[in-house]
């Protein structure tokens, strides 16, 4: 089996956050890629998806005739990159966008296209070349790049789904956006991520901040570290950085986390990990 490369294209949560004090971790919102064996799978379509599409268009990576894009949920920070993803305009690229949050493909299409309609967004005329697909939680779906992706539910307002991607003996599990604290759900997520090579966790807050942010749908890095330990993940990647958080702040959080567990990294745009 060829090497499988995980890459961060956007690690910011809630909204894009630019500025000179946010260059190390980056301002783009959620987007990750998993590639190997000549194929690619993308998780989430935040603003980071634009740069990924551009890298494909310029030949920096790819070509990928078939792309699977797995959405955790439809909050704006997870879909805002979609109309700026250049491969969407390429007729020869087969793009399948997956959601576990709908029973029917048409319901998924109606909801997603409602956002990308005037006057919120200029008429988007390319839906015909995009395949919008739904899949139930707990069922492994086959990916164009080989391997499978299995969605599992997270605790988040309006619902969200994590994804475990398995390729041969290697796996990566993305579990953001998620609010820890419901023992039953947390146990199910740890089970879904059991033994995974890389677990991507929601680390929007710190334990000192969480008290007045309960119900907002996010976790602390300490809760992410606990989830990683329960799942027996080999490496934990903290993501969904609060938009107010400057590089110095995230670096401080990373130092605190690594004092507990050296196999924790805070996601930086461009960070790669070979599984």
Sites of contact with Zn ion (CB under 5 A): 13, 75, 77, 177
Tokens at 232, concatenated: 């027996």
Comparison of 16 and 64: residue with beta carbon closer to Zn ion: 16
Comparison of 12 and 170: residue with beta carbon closer to Zn ion: 12
- Total residue length of the chain: 275
Tokens at 151, concatenated: 């969605």
Q: Which residues contact 196 (CB under 8 A, 6 or more apart)?
A: 164, 171, 172, 173, 231, 233, 234
Per the rule left: phi > 0, alpha: psi between -120 and 50, beta: everything else, 106 is: alpha
Comparison of 149 and 160: residue with beta carbon closer to Zn ion: 160
Smallest distance, Zn ion to C-beta of residue 214, A: 15
Smallest distance, Zn ion to C-beta of residue 137, A: 17
Smallest distance, Zn ion to C-beta of residue 203, A: 12
> C-alpha angle 273/46/85, rounded to 5°?
95
Comparison of 77 and 242: residue with beta carbon closer to Zn ion: 77
Smallest distance, Zn ion to C-beta of residue 251, A: 22
Comparison of 80 and 132: residue with beta carbon closer to Zn ion: 80
Chain position whose Cβ is nearest to Zn ion: 75
Other C-beta atoms within 10 Å of 186: how many? Answer: 21
Other C-beta atoms within 10 Å of 199: how many? Answer: 31
Comparison of 93 and 219: residue with beta carbon closer to Zn ion: 219
Comparison of 71 and 231: residue with beta carbon closer to Zn ion: 71
Which among 114, 181, 143, 185 is positioned nearest to 43, based on CA atoms? Answer: 143
Burial of 211 (0-12, 13-18, 19+ CB in 10 A): exposed
Largest CA distance in the chain: 50
Comparison of 64 and 205: residue with beta carbon closer to Zn ion: 205
Smallest distance, Zn ion to C-beta of residue 257, A: 20
Smallest distance, Zn ion to C-beta of residue 83, A: 18
Smallest distance, Zn ion to C-beta of residue 1, A: 32
* Residue showing tokens 């390319």: 126
What is the rounded (10 degree) CA torsion for 229, 34, 176, 119? Answer: 180
First to last CA, the chain: 11
Smallest distance, Zn ion to C-beta of residue 52, A: 17
């Amino acid at each position: 089996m060829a090497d499988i490369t995980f890459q961060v294209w956007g690690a910011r949560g809630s909204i894009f956050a630019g500025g000179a004090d946010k260059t190390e971790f980056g301002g783009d919102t959620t987007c990750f890629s998993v590639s190997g064996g000549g194929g690619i799978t993308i998780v989430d379509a935040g603003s980071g998806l634009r740069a990924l599409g551009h890298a494909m268009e310029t030949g920096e990576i790819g070509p990928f005739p078939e792309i699977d894009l797995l959405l955790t949920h439809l909050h704006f920070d997870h879909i805002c990159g979609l109309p700026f993803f250049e491969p969407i305009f390429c007729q020869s690229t087969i793009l399948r966008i997956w959601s576990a949050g709908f029973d029917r493909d048409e319901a998924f299409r109606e909801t997603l296209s409602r956002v990308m309609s005037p006057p919120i967004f200029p008429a988007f005329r390319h839906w015909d070349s995009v395949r919008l697909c739904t899949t139930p939680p707990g069922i492994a779906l086959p990916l164009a790049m080989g391997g499978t992706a299995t969605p599992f539910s997270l605790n988040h307002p309006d619902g969200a789904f994590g994804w475990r991607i398995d390729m041969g003996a290697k796996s990566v599990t993305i579990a953001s956006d998620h609010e820890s604290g419901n023992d039953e759900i947390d146990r199910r997520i740890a089970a879904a991520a059991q033994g995974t090579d890389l677990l991507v966790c929601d680390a929007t807050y710190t334990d000192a901040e969480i008290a007045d942010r309960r119900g907002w749908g996010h976790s602390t890095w300490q809760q992410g570290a606990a989830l990683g330990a329960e799942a027996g993940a080999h490496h934990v990647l903290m993501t969904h950085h609060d938009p107010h958080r400057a590089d110095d702040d995230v670096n401080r959080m990373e130092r605190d986390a690594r004092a507990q567990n050296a196999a924790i990294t805070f996601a930086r745009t461009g960070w790669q990990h070979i599984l």
